């Protein structure tokens, strides 16, 4: 009797371990497909890439793109809005499946997350108030002014590394903002002198808010724009890359660029 009970217990343990192992073999992509949706993080304060429109809906270039990607993967897309500087951690911790929020690839970010192939290439701009009387012909000249950036962006990293850490700019003159529209409001109010940011977003803010102008455009910290996925998630990366390539070949992404950015 004891031997029979022991045999049953061992058999039960084997079955439990097998079930756990089988569950552990499920890929992240398989989990997403099983749920029928992907949870996507964004920071909806960055028009024309991502913002909330007058109807309270997520809108913009990135939002249209990820919805089309979801449709082609036969998945519902659930958007979660959160501060930009929390998006990478949310991907790492599995709180969201991926993030699309005008993310530029850089080596530091690549240490903790992975990226899809780029779907867009960005430049930077320096935005000032219309009454700005200074001269900024090169980004290094920002060292002479009070500057705003969005926390966690490549622009924030560039100013920190190349101006503050290099001893060219007092850190007290660098103001970091959770949302880029907060920086623009401070710019209009005269609390800061300039903002280093993505160029299309700078043009959109200048047009929408008025009283602002661009004094410099060029590639400072930007470049390829990618979707952020968990580190080592090769299967999800491949699936997304296939759809991105398809959309580029069809001209869908180019149409979105014309619609939202020109």
Q: What is the pLDDT of residues 231-245, one digit of tens each?
A: 999 999 999 999 999
* 137 and 201 share one domain: yes
* 48 and 108 share one domain: yes
Domain hosting residue 172, numbered range: 124-218
Give every CB contact of residue 186 below 8 A, 6+ residues apart in sequence.
Answer: 148, 175, 177, 192
pLDDT band at residue 14 under the 50/70/90 scheme: very low
* 85 and 145 share one domain: no
* 104 and 144 share one domain: no
State the Cα–Cα distance between residues 138 and 154, nearest whole angstrom: 17
In a domain, 175, yes or no: yes
* 79 and 141 share one domain: no
Counted domains in the chain: 2
* 133 and 206 share one domain: yes
In three-state secondary structure terms, 65 is: helix
* 129 and 212 share one domain: yes
In a domain, 58, yes or no: yes
* 108 and 237 share one domain: yes
The residues pairing with 80 across neighbouring beta strands, listed in sequence order, are: 41
For strand 174-177 and strand 147-150, is the pairing parallel, antiparallel, or unpaired?
A: parallel
Report the mean per-residue pLDDT for the chain: 91
What CATH code is carried by the domain that includes residue 65? 3.40.190.10
Continuous segment of H or E residues that includes residue 258: helix 252-261
* 146 and 184 share one domain: yes
* 157 and 193 share one domain: yes
pLDDT per residue as tens digits for the range 45-94: 999 999 999 999 999 999 999 999 999 999 999 999 999 999 999 999 99
Please say if the pLDDT value at position 126 is more than 90: yes
* 110 and 233 share one domain: yes
* 128 and 214 share one domain: yes
In a domain, 9, yes or no: no
In a domain, 12, yes or no: no
């Amino acid at each position: 009797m004891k031997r029979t009970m022991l045999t049953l217990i061992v058999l039960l343990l084997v079955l439990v371990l097998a079930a756990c192992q089988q569950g552990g073999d499920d890929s992240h992509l398989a989990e997403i497909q099983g749920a029928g949706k992907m949870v996507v993080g964004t920071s909806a304060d960055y028009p024309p890439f991502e913002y909330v429109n007058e109807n309270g809906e997520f809108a913009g270039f990135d939002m249209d793109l990820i919805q089309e990607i979801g449709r082609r993967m036969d998945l519902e897309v659930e958007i979660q809005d959160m501060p930009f500087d929390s998006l990478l951690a949310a991907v790492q911790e599995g709180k969201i499946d991926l993030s699309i929020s005008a993310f530029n690839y850089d080596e530091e970010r690549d240490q903790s997350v992975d990226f899809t192939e780029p779907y867009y290439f960005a430049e930077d701009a320096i935005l000032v108030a219309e009454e700005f009387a200074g001269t900024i012909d090169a980004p290094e000249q920002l060292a002479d002014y009070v500057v705003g950036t969005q926390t966690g962006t490549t622009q924030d990293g560039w100013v920190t590394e190349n101006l503050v850490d290099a001893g060219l700019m007092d850190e007290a003159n660098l103001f970091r903002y959770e949302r880029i529209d907060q920086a623009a409001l401070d710019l209009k109010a005269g609390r800061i002198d300039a903002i280093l940011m993505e160029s299309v977003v700078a043009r959109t803010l200048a047009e929408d808010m008025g009283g602002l102008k661009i004094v410099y455009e060029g590639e400072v910290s930007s470049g390829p724009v990618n979707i952020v996925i968990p580190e080592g998630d090769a299967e999800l990366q491949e699936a997304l890359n296939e759809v991105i390539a398809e959309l580029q070949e069809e001209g869908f992404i180019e149409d979105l660029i014309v619609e939202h950015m020109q």
